[in-house]
Amino acid sequence: MTKSVKIILICVIAVFAVSAAISVYILRPTENKKVVVIRDNTELYRFDLSAEKDEKIRIEYEGGGYNIVEIKNGEIRISEADCPDNTCVKSGTLKHEEMPVVCLPHHLILRFSDDE
């Protein structure tokens, strides 16, 4: 192996290692259990998942649509929606501060609260 190939190989390994470390840091589960449900920049609900009982909340949209937000076992998710792609339902439970659960057609966002 030539010196330039070794340098390139070391650089590729370094970039991979840094990328893996950043991914692990970003995707770690959050300790925050306070969640807000927002639609059109208006806070609809605020929950402390460590104290909430299991429940389902139906959120109606002015255009006739709906989302069902489910709190179960200290986790929150959108369990049902009438939007065309159901990406919000497929997103699963809210786990990371950097990755909210979003329903774009209904302008609904589930995210961890900034304030403790």
pLDDT in tens, the chain (116 residues): 788 889 999 999 999 999 998 887 776 666 668 999 999 999 999 999 888 899 999 999 887 889 999 999 989 999 999 988 899 999 999 988 888 999 999 999 999 987 65
CA distance 59 to 77: 13
pLDDT at 115: 66
pLDDT for position 102: 94
**CATH node for 34-112:** 2.60.320.10
Side chain identity at 79, as an amino acid letter?
S
Residue 69 near residue 76 (C-beta atoms within 8 A): yes
d(CA 51, CA 13): 45
Q: Does the pTM of the predicted model rise above 0.95?
A: no
Single-letter code of the amino acid located at 15: V
Please identify which residue in the block is written with the tokens 């792609």. 85
- Cα dihedral 83, 66, 68, 35 sign: positive
